[in-house]
Chains A and B, each alone.
Chain A
């Protein structure tokens, strides 16, 4: 199969839970508006925000943004919002190539074809919780960094000579 599985360098990731209006105000500081539909993403410049649960968002910004947010988790943070940097929690991988859908079909029970273009959703990949983001050039996965070695091990085993379409 033809595919590429590579690691993506760390971004700033913020896990946001709480009141939707407080979340709106917080996201606005990055120039972002909250996505209108569930399990989708909205972008502005080089930042993105994912709506991945009820009253639950993940905001993604360039790596240096983290240093500019000292007060997020401190006593000055909004009382109706829990904002936690999770930039280290999630390891990011990219899957691309002609057979990326075939590879994905090995890893997950998620209906890949039903994923809209701007999808960002939690699902199970290889039995573990992971965030999958669909992009024009391929998919991105985010899963807990403690599973990195296991995931890389498993992906290295996924390759074969069978064509994806049978005639």
Chain B
């Protein structure tokens, strides 16, 4: 390994553990504790890739998530999109490569774009690629767009997890301010969570020399973190980036795995008090050639020296407009980096100049030179003299930008502080506060004090007492920012970058302003400045400054763009968590699923998340054959199905009968004991909500049943009415759907089967009539039998406790063998109900039909003055608009089944439809297809021939009554 850039001592690295990795196929080594960026710099790799639009050479510019220059991606198999090398901990065997260049960053064919640059300013695509057709250009543009490749394979299942965590105080950021706030919080006994995006806490303290309480900064961090870790009431989350701040202090955070096999986690953090200690990001300076590899943020140079014992270059030029850059000088010098000069835009020296280093005041860099690496910079002195200074590193410090994304997401106010030339938070909400550099407190002493005060305030807001002990520290930082947005007469503004990631220059900003885009939001979108992976963290305020200078407007008035989540990229997987594969959506089963599946049932998704058997194909049967066989069994002998998912509710109370009278269109208060009645429920705006049979079990007690899919909806409907409209009524409801489950035996031989099971219930015709309910023992099990029929055949619904269902079912199958009892599925249920013309929600009940349309005017009680929906139904009917009514259809070709949803049109012509086919099945027992339709004025048109249009043909059919089988209903009443 080339020794050159690795310093002989220092750094938070383990010099004993070498790590091998490749970059663009070449092998390199680094040390444990390195990031990919520091390892590359240690190996003298500064040129990492090419820029987005112009394919200009790009190098490492920073040491954090504000990186605007260098991006890498993993080789083929591990591809995961764009990665910031400074955030990637170096691991053995890593294979990374450059992004957006081919064949290499050193020699890139895309570099020709640099020659085309004048034709490709901001927004060029709004004025080009239009004629003759955008679609001709699109594929080529798509291929050229983007940076890293999209991963080809999805990650394995089981890689993600979501966790919830509630706490009293959440501290975002474990730098000086955050750790101080968390320590004070820990002492109070409140529940504290502190999260930091880095793999170890410390924030800026990892990147510079400092002394806190007479310990080196990193030792103080280690000690404080250990104390926090040891405290029972503190949770320290590393590798955890908080990416969203939502209402009532709900924060989303992404925690990266540290070792292979670990899950990527998304944290849902809920805090009573939030402290945002996310620090500040150093500002770039804008001048031609400020994007060249070797141009870096001054604090980042310092970071590589201190944290990784790497010097990114040999001879540095410092370009600054504030005092913080001076603090870097001793560290850089000790690392063997020669400081060519400190170029300061401020006219007068603000602080004691660092001895031995050349200071040039009132000066500016007018351009850099060098192609793939900076070789020098051209300085203009205060008196106008130009001087070329050789260097391979330009360290910039344009000021600091507090990281306010979370603050802004929480809709808290931000203002521009002219003295410090920063956008800073304005304290407003009681439950959120900023601390440290995020609050505009630049420098270690200010950060520690700010953290302590924020911690104390948060504790007090939680109702506890706190003592805010502020740690002593050195050095004492001065800031003294003198904002400098760009040179007054920028020579080559088209090479002065305000957004290095997206290749947006100062010239582009001026172009946007000339085109009339004045609002900062418009400038952002027109130029795409601030829209890249780095979200313009190092350059956004420079843009505001450039606009302020160009338009003579106030920084405060221009403001910053709205920050939206996520703060940094988040994987979809971590948001999904464990909800994947078979548990993507919940599902429900009855105890019979195992039996069904063992008999070859094809399982369907029914309503309300239930899984039910669709049909039971026997060897080699098609679905059609199975359904015909099952339906035939029910009509001719006997079938059985699992009717458990039907909603069942116990309803009891002094006002129970009144309630049912209000909910249903027909009367229930006069229902005799142990009798049942079919009812329809409307919503108050007159639409059919549900139908079902309800039984009376006692003077004030009923058993209400609903359709399977609507059980929850009906329950809510009833509860809402009771609580909001009739709070004085005394009625209670309990859901029994999963308590009493049933096997429904249906067919001419049903009674014989029930008798064969053994029961103490008198099954005689007169003794147990249709629409009644009986209690007793069946097959030795406590049971309730109700005589309801959804199939139109003699039917006994045997309800037992869920624990007994399987046993009952086995006994039923056994008892029915002699009669050829056949288990049936929902497909067959559908056929049977269509043959009977029974309504089905979602088919005949489609949100437009009322009971009159369905031929059920008898169910709309004339005796009740009011019930839910009555008024609206009559209001609608009085409009005199023709109604679509339920009819049956007999196709001219009896074998022809009509596609559901097909429209009926006059003469089959392509005209406005007069109806729609709601259901159509082949009927074995009728020997023809049976269909139901909603047809305009249908009831007056029985016997007429109508036409149905499908994409393939026009069908003819005769209008009939809606019940095709046993219209008198004698079979189910037998």
Contacts and interface: CB of A to CB of B under 8 A. Distances in A.
Direct chain A–B contact by Cβ atoms under 8 Å: yes
Interface of A: 10, 15, 17-18, 55, 73-75, 79-80, 82, 84-89, 102, 105-106, 108-114, 126-128, 144-150, 153-154, 157-158, 160-162, 165-167
A57 B229 CA distance: 41
Interface in B690-715: 698-701
A144 B161 contact: no
**Chain B, interface size: which category?**
35 or more
B739 A82 contact: no
B801 A128 contact: no
Interface of B: 158, 161-166, 191, 225, 229, 235-238, 257-259, 261-263, 265, 268, 270, 577-578, 581-583, 586-590, 593, 610, 645, 650, 652-654, 698-701, 730, 732-739, 741, 801-803
A150 B583 contact: yes
Given A109-B270, A111-B270, A145-B738, 5 more contacts: A88-B739, A146-B588, A146-B589, A149-B593, A153-B583
A87 B587 CA distance: 21
Given A82-B653, A145-B802, A160 B738 contact: no
B236 A160 contact: no
Contacts of B610: 146
A80 B730 contact: yes
B96 to A, nearest CB: 25
A149 B229 CA distance: 38
Nearest to B240: A166
Contact of B166 (A74, A113, A147, A150): A113
30 contacts: A17-B733, A80-B730, A82-B701, A82-B733, A82-B734, A84-B650, A85-B739, A88-B739, A89-B735, A89-B739, A102-B163, A105-B165, A111-B270, A114-B166, A144-B738, A145-B738, A145-B802, A146-B590, A146-B645, A147-B587, A148-B589, A153-B582, A160-B161, A160-B262, A160-B263, A161-B259, A162-B263, A165-B235, A166-B235, A166-B236
A112 B259 CA distance: 28
Contacts of A82: 650, 652-653, 701, 732-734
Contact of A106 (B163, B258, B586, B732): B163
Greatest chain B CB density within 10 A among A82, A147, A154 is at A82
A109 B268 contact: yes
Given A111-B166, A150-B587, A154-B583, A86 B739 contact: yes
Contacts of B590: 146
B586 A127 contact: yes
A39 B543 CA distance: 56
Contact of A154 (B229, B263, B578, B700): B578
A12 to B, nearest CB: 12
Contact of B736 (A79, A89, A161): A89
Contacts of A144: 588, 738
Nearest to A126: B586
Greatest chain B CB density within 10 A among A88, A109, A128, A149 is at A88
Contacts of B586: 126-128, 147, 150
B578 A88 contact: no
B166 to A, nearest CB: 4
A153 B579 CA distance: 11
Contacts of B802: 88-89, 145
Given A79-B700, A80-B730, A150-B583, A158 B578 contact: yes
Contacts of B165: 105
B803 A10 contact: yes
A157 B262 CA distance: 13
A82 B734 CA distance: 8
A167 B229 CA distance: 6
Contacts of B261: 161
Contact of B738 (A89, A150, A153, A154): A89
Contact of A166 (B238, B652, B738): B238
Contacts of A109: 164, 268, 270
Contacts of A18: 653, 732
A105 B166 CA distance: 9
Contacts of B700: 79
Contacts of A102: 163
Nearest to A19: B730
A134 to B, nearest CB: 15
Contacts of A113: 166, 191
A66 B314 CA distance: 85
A84 B262 CA distance: 46
Contacts of B162: 106
B747 to A, nearest CB: 27
B453 to A, nearest CB: 26
Contacts of A110: 164
